[in-house]
Amino acid sequence: MNNTISKIGVFTSGGDAPGMNAAIRAVVRTSIYYKKEVFGIMQGYDGMIAGEIVKLGVRSVGNIIQRGGTILKCARSKEFRTPEGRKKAFDNLKKNGIDALVAIGGDGTFAGLKVFYEEYGIPSICLPGTIDNDIAGTDYTIGFDTATNTAVDAIDKIRDTAISHNRLFFIEVMGRHSGYIGINCGIAGGAVVTIIPEEDMTLEQLFNKLDEGGKTNKKSSLVVVAEGSKIGRAMDLAQKFAERNNYFDIKVTILGHLQRGGNPTYFDRVLASKMGVAAVEGLLNNKSGTMVGILNNQIVYNSFDTIINNKHLIDEEAIRISKILSI
């Protein structure tokens, strides 16, 4: 075990994700279990630069495992992208005696930490905290399960009113570059069409699919649209289809940041807890410069290069199943 580490800093960065608090709790309590001091860095990299650093204890993270968001707050930092900003951050860590870091966030967080690690050599490990589930080297990211469950719950409620009023709903879910939320919501919510960034669906294909429903007297339907759809967002697609539609009453619902909030599911709480323990133990066992992942229900450590240079690709089987079930 690496006995040179005595003080561990933990922070959350980028967008918040349900389960981040559970991860913070696990990092803090595991650090203390191994008789290490632990500090929370507020507001991500911006807080590191500004010196917003607080010591955390066992009771500091009591009653947070069930809470959404992050008690350490999140931010995206432009200044940290500069050598001057990173130098300020390092000086503040040094002033507080922090000699190891655990970062919880997405690919932008990891890219920043990789540069910082290469410049200053401070032992560092990342945890994948993002609702998009788009990080390579792990089957699941912290927050994905909760965000998808939140979206499916909303879609179920929308289906009730769609059936009652004979409506076609275009429902937009998060996913600028990844269709994981979209494809899983489409299957679980019974969508007639699911549009994700990874697929090259055309407007004509979309319209033909919806026209089929109209021809068979289908009076209500749901279309799930990931916000990164190549053919347009939900509002655009609804307007374009309305120009040629004479049988559906068309409505649009954009779920937006609703998906980021709320209490994490049991799955995200357990996943975050396992990863938080693994992060501290990884630091103490010289696995620095890595991200904790979970593959086939086993904890793994992936190098920064591996996770930054690759992407968690969408499951082609899920796309196939979605198409079969949407007839």
Q: Enumerate the active-site residues.
A: 132
- The packing angle between helices 234-242 and 203-215, to 10°, is 60
The closest of 17, 71, 76 to 45, measured between CA atoms, is 76
Longest dimension (CA), the chain: 72
- The packing angle between helices 316-325 and 180-189, to 10°, is 30
**CB crowding 86-119: b at 16 or more within 10 Å, else e:** bebbbebbeebebbbbbbbbbbbbbebbbebbee
CA distance linking residue 304 with residue 312, whole number of Å: 14
What residues pair up with 292 in beta bridges, in sequence order? 301
The closest of 159, 163, 161 to 189, measured between CA atoms, is 159
CA angle 23, 291, 130 (to 5 degrees): 55
Residue with tokens 């860590």: 93
The closest of 100, 92, 29 to 58, measured between CA atoms, is 29
- The packing angle between helices 144-165 and 180-189, to 10°, is 40
